[in-house]
Structure 1
C-alpha cells in the first residue's frame, strides 16, 4: 500500500472556483500533508484560498510567492504535525522551508523546496545558481520538487529535439547538491501539449538527498493522472509491504562480546513465559 505524504503539481492557474475545487479533490484524495503548487497565477493568497484548494486547511500553515500578473506563483501548504518550519526563503522561482520533518515514527531536519523554474534557458540557469547558493548555507538533507521546465536526458522528451547543453546544466545542478532522482512510476512523461502531433516531456519531479532515503528507504515518486492541467501531479509516497514475521539473524561476532550471556539471561528473565520467537 502506498502512503502519500507529499504532492507537487503545476496547476496552471487557480483563479477559477472550479479549478480550486478540482485541486482540493485531488489533494484530499491523495492524503498528502505537504503540497508544492506551481504556476498558481494568484497575486495574493489568504486563508480562504487555502481552504478552497486544500482538504486539510483547518490546521494547515502555508507560505506563498505571488504571481507577476498572470505568470508564475507558488504555494507551499503543510501540516504542522508533519513538518515544523522554523525558517524560509521565498522568491519568484522557489520556496525553501527549513525545519523538521516528522513522519512514520522518524524525524529529520531538512529543507523542503518548491521549484518553478523559468522556461527560458538563461533565466533557468540563474534560478539553479541562486538555489544552489541559498541551499549551500544549510547542512541539511533536501526534498525538492516542482516543475523544472527541462528534462534530464533525451529519453524524457518526445516530439521535439533534446537540448543537450540545457540538460547538462540541469544534471550538473542535481549533482552539485548530491540529489537523487528516483525512477518515476505511473508514466514516462509529466507534461503534454495535447496536440495532434504530441510533444511530451518529463518536466516535473522530486529530487531527494541520500540521507532522506537512508531514513525512509521505501520512498517512491509516482505520476497521477492529468486532470485540470497539462502537467501530471507527482506524489512522493512510501510503499508499505507486510512480508510476515521478520527473520532473526545470528552474527558470530556477537560471541566475542563478554556481556552476551548476561544480555541473553536478562532478556529471557524479562520475557519469562513468552515464546522464543517473541523473545528473538
Structure 2
C-alpha cells in the first residue's frame, strides 16, 4: 500500500499538518454475515415473512455500511483526536445520501469543513474533512473517483492540493483517471499530496491473494513518473504509520509532517488510580522509605519528588500489564475475524 507526495517537501515538513487516511468499508465478519443472510433468503418461503425479512435485512445493511453507523463515526473521531489529525480522508464510505452520515460526529470541535463524493450504490464514496484553523479551502475539483481540495495551509506560502482518490476497477477507467489527475496537477500550482486507493499495485510484491496484472502496474508506474510523484515509505523524517484496522478491513494510515516536542509530560494523578488495591501501599512504602536532609521546605520538596517517582514507576508497571492484556484481547479478536472468514463462529467463540 503506497501513498504519494510531490517532490518539494521542504516547506510542508515545517508545517503542522497531520493527515489521517481511513478506508471505512465493511469488516470481514460483516461481509460473512451478509453472505450467509443472502443465502438464507433463497431458502425462505415466499410471501409476507420473506418481504418483512428483506426489509429488515436492507435496514441492517444501510445501518452497517461505510461510516453510516455511530460506532464507526465514533471510531473516526477517536482516531482523529488521538493522533491530532488536521486533515482526514475517508474512502469507501458506501453512502450515496449524505444525510445518513454525521460528519460533525467525526470531528472533536466546530472548527472544521468538509467535502465529499457520493458512492455509487455500495461502491466508492469519498469524504475529506479538515481543520479550518490550519487549512483554508480555496477550490474543490471532483468526479466519481477523486476529490481535490485546494487551499492554503498554515506556514506554507504556496497552495496545498489535497487529493483523495478511490480508483475504478477497469484498466481503461484507471488510465482515464490518471490522465485527468495529471492534467489537473499541471494546471494547478503548489504542492500535491495524493492519498488513495488506486486499486492497482506497482509490483508483484504488493499483491496478496490476487492476480498481478503487469500491464496495469506498467501504466501505473508511468503515471507516477509523469505526475512527478514520490512515494512515502513507512517511518522516516515524515512519519507514515499504519494502525490496527479495528472496525475496517483496511488499516488506517497517519502521515505526520512535523514533529513537535513540548518538553517533559507533566505528572498527573488520576482518581482511578486511587481505586487500585495496591496504590495505598505504594504511597505508604515510598513515604516511609525516603531519607533526606536540608531545610524543612527542601526536605519536603525532595520527599514529594521521591513519592512522585515511586508512583510513576508503579503506574508504568501497571500500564505494561494492562497493555499486555489489551494486546492479548485484540489478538483474540483478530484470530476470530480470520476464523469467521472461513466459517460461521460458534456460540462459544462469540461469547468468549
Q: Offset of 1:35 from its aligned partner?
A: 0.9
Contact 1:94 1:114 in 2 (8 A): yes
- Distance in 1 between residues matched to 2:172 and 2:101, nearest whole Å: 36
Alignment of 1:106-255 (within 5 A): 106-185=156-235, 218-238=237-257, 240=259
| TM norm structure 2 | 0.54
- Distance in 2 between residues matched to 1:166 and 1:180, nearest whole Å: 19
1:74 aligns with 2:126: yes
- Distance in 1 between residues matched to 2:260 and 2:157, nearest whole Å: 21
Q: Deviations over 1:229-248 (max 9, x none)?
A: 11111111136387xxxxxx
Q: Deviations over 1:92-127 (max 9, x none)?
A: 11111112121xx44442211000001222222221
- Distance in 2 between residues matched to 1:46 and 1:88, nearest whole Å: 20
Alpha-carbon spacing, 1:19–1:240, altered in 2? closer, same or farther (3 Å)? closer
3-state SS of paired residue (1:151): coil
What is the aligned partner in structure 2 of residue 10 from structure 1? 23
1:90 aligns with 2:149: no
Q: Offset of 1:223 from its aligned partner?
A: 1.1
Which one has a larger percent strand, Structure 1 or Structure 2? 1
The gaps in structure 2 that reach 5 residues or longer are 1-15, 26-65, 262-352
The gaps in structure 1 that reach 5 residues or longer are 186-216, 243-280
Paired residues, what number? Answer: 207
Alpha-carbon spacing, 1:241–1:65, altered in 2? closer, same or farther (3 Å)? closer
Q: Offset of 1:47 from its aligned partner?
A: 11
Which one has a larger percent helix, Structure 1 or Structure 2? 2
| Consecutive aligned runs of 4 or more in structure 1 exceeding 6 Å deviation | none
- Distance in 1 between residues matched to 2:95 and 2:158, nearest whole Å: 32
3-state SS of paired residue (1:181): strand
3-state SS of paired residue (1:42): coil
3-state SS of paired residue (1:49): coil
Pick the aligned partner of 1:55 from 108, 111, 124: 108
Q: Offset of 1:175 from its aligned partner?
A: 1.0
- Distance in 2 between residues matched to 1:176 and 1:157, nearest whole Å: 23
3-state SS of paired residue (2:21): strand
Contact 1:9 1:146 in 2 (8 A): no
More relative contact order, 1 or 2 (CA 8 Å, 6+ apart): 2
Q: Offset of 1:76 from its aligned partner?
A: 0.6
What is the aligned partner in structure 1 of residue 325 from structure 2? none
1:25 aligns with 2:78: yes
